[in-house]
Each structure stands twice: as C-alpha cells, then as structure tokens.
Amino acid sequence: MKSINTALCAFGMSGQLFHAPFIDVSPKFKLHGVLERSKNLAEAKYPDVMTYRRIEELLEDKNVDLVIVNTPNITHYEFAKKVILSGKHVIIEKPFTASVTEAKSLIDLAEQHNVKLSVFHNRRWDSDFKTVEKIINAGVLGEIVEAEFHYDRFSPSLSYKVHKEIPSDGVGNIYDLGSHIIDQALVLFGMPQKVFAVLDTRRKDSKVDDYFDIKLFYPSHYVNLKSSYFVLEPLPAYSVHGKKGSFVKSKSDVQENDLQSGKMPDTMDWGVEPDAEKGLLHTLSNGNSKKSFIHSERGDYMAFYDEVYEAIRFDKPMPVSGYEAMNVIKIIQAAIESHLNHRIIEV
C-alpha cells in the first residue's frame, strides 16, 4: 500500500484534532508536512514532519500529494486555488468558500487540472447523525412531515480567535455551525424549494451573527435548523416527525471530546456513544403505540479519509463532492438574503 503524503495548511484546533490524528494512525496516509509561520507545534508532536513557513514552500515540495486547507474561512478560496494550480489534491475545511461563485470556480479549476477536491463535512460521520439517517432510511416514521435540527452552545463571550469575530464574507455562526446542519439536512432530504431565515447577534459587543433560525421548504415537509450561543440546557439535536411516528436524538457523538482528551482514533471503542444517549423511537400502528430506545451507530471520521484514499488511488468519487459542498453555500447565501429582505427565497 502506497501511502498518500499529506500536508496541513495550519496546526490549530482543526489540524491538531480533526486531521493529524487520523492521518497519523492510518497506513494509507503519511503526515508529511505542516505550514506554521513561526511555531513548531507539529514538529514537537510528530518529529518526522516537515515545517513550512510559507505556502509557496509547501506547494513547491514535490513529495506532497494532498493538501488540507484548514485555514480561516476567508482564506479558503485563495489557498485552495493555489493548491489546485500546483497540481495537488485538496481537502478544504468547511465552509467550502464564502460564496457560490468562489465554490464553482474551485470546482471548475480542479476539473481542469485533474485533481481531486473534497470538503471536510465530517459531521456526516457523527454517531448521532448516522443514527438519525438510519431511522429515516428505514422508513419506520413513514412520510416525513417535519424535522428540526439544533446545534447549540453556551458561549456568551467572544471567541479568542479574532478572525471569527470580524465581519466579513464567510464569517458568522451560519457559516460555522450552520454549515454542519445544513449539510446534514441536504444529505437526508436534498435541496429545498425555498428558504426563510432569521439571523441575529445576541452576545455583548458581537459584530457577527451568533443565532440563526432557518426554515427549509420541501414539497411535503419542512426542516427547521436552529443554533444559539445561549443554550445551557440542550434541546434534542434531532427531532424528526413522520406520519407513522417520531424519532428524537441527543447530540452525543464522542469523537471530538475523545480527541481533545488525547484518545487516538485507532482504539477498539472509537466512536461508541454511552448507552444513556440512545434515541427514542415512538411509532403508532393499528392504534398501538410503541416506544423503543435505539442503539446509536458508531461515529467514524476515519471513514472520510478511507474514501479520500480510494478516490485518489483508484479514481473513485470523493466522500463529499464540491457540488454537494457548494449547495451548502447556496443555502447559506439564500438564508442571508432572506434575513436581509425579510422574505422567502426560492432556491
């Protein structure tokens, strides 16, 4: 097996938690290099890694096969474009880009230069979402009437990451947490016909949105997507209602917490939720009500990387296509337009 030499464009939280551990333990990949302008954090943890001080140094390294653009949102387009033009494959952190125009430009450019492009929508591989997906696909709820997804936090203070608090394209909670649950909604239900949204700023001195309430209109059902930085007692992350019953599930994927505690993703119990976090399935058939607790699926971000390997080595589709990620940006832009004009937007 020939491993894929991979380089990270940053070594902050994303690089340290969501990328480097998976690349390090997988025989399919090798953490070859990291871009750090002044520090040597990656070298301290991974002694064999190359350290680059400029993006140009990274791109000039002919040993690099794959580059992960995990820099601030507003730089995704600029960095990804340089990677593609250098002829290297690219994974871009969510959100893909700040605009649909930028997203389409990168998709076209990757096709022209015959390189693989994907976007790291890792929450598709969360245990809680995979469980919801399984229940919906099984059809036990019947025709879906309504679904509501929450991605909430209790974070009254402004982020120490200054770039997240400066108003600009691609910044704000709708791009940050919104990207995750918009993508999940599109995976389950496809593109909606219309969008209506309210965005707000609730934290003191905040200049970017930290609250959103988005309604997606489908021919036979609605999907509500909500996020607030002032939710101390969490609501169910997923509530799905159909003509035969309901399914309610907490946000309980353990992967991020395990990564923060130093656990590596090659352990036997990786991605396994506590039994207490089982989802509640309540159905009605022939007048008989039945409630049951559903074992959660296993969370597995490594599955994303496994599919990336197959795509690069055997020319298979990337796990998240550029077009799928671009649709997330379409919804974000429609939601912003809806908020600004106080009206429903046709997609």
List, as one string, the DSSP characters of 158-198. PPS-GGGTS--TT-SHHHHHHHHHHHHHHHHH---SEEEEE
Which residue ranges does the chain devote to CATH 3.40.50.720? 4-120
Evaluate if residue 287 carries a pLDDT over 90: no
CA distance 103 to 81: 10
31, with CB counted inside 10 A (0-12, 13-18, 19+), is buried
The end-to-end CA distance of the chain, in Å, is 44
4-120: CATH number: 3.40.50.720
Proportion of the chain above pLDDT 90, given as a percent? 97
Closest to 51 (Cα-Cα) out of 70, 28, 35: 35
Helices (H), ranges, the chain: 13, 20-25, 41-45, 55-60, 76-85, 100-112, 127-138, 173-189, 255-260, 302-314, 322-341
Which residue ranges does the chain devote to CATH 3.30.360.10? 123-300+331-346
Evaluate if residue 270 carries a pLDDT over 90: yes
CA distance 71 to 9: 6
Per-residue pLDDT of 27-66, as tens digits, reads: 999 999 999 999 999 999 999 999 999 999 999 999 999 9
Residue 306 identity: D
φ and ψ at 289, to 5 degrees? -90, 135
CA distance 208 to 172: 5
Split at pLDDT 50, 70, 90, the class of 285 is: confident
3-state secondary structure of 223: strand
User: CATH for 123-300+331-346, among 2.60.40.1180, 3.30.360.10, 3.40.50.150, 3.40.50.850?
Assistant: 3.30.360.10
Q: In what order do the strands lie in the sheet with 29-35?
A: 50-52, 29-35, 4-8, 66-69, 89-93, 117-120
Evaluate if residue 315 carries a pLDDT over 90: yes
Q: Quick check: 52 and 61 in contact, CB under 8 A? A: yes
3-state secondary structure of 82: helix
Per-residue pLDDT of 192-216, as tens digits, reads: 999 999 999 999 999 999 999 999 9
> Which structure tokens are listed for 307?
């599919």
Which residues contact residue 315 at a Cβ distance below 8 angstroms, ignoring those fewer than 6 apart? none
3-state secondary structure of 205: coil
Evaluate if residue 271 carries a pLDDT over 90: yes
Q: Quick check: 27 and 78 in contact, CB under 8 A? A: no
- HSE-CB for 337 with a 13 A CA cutoff: 13
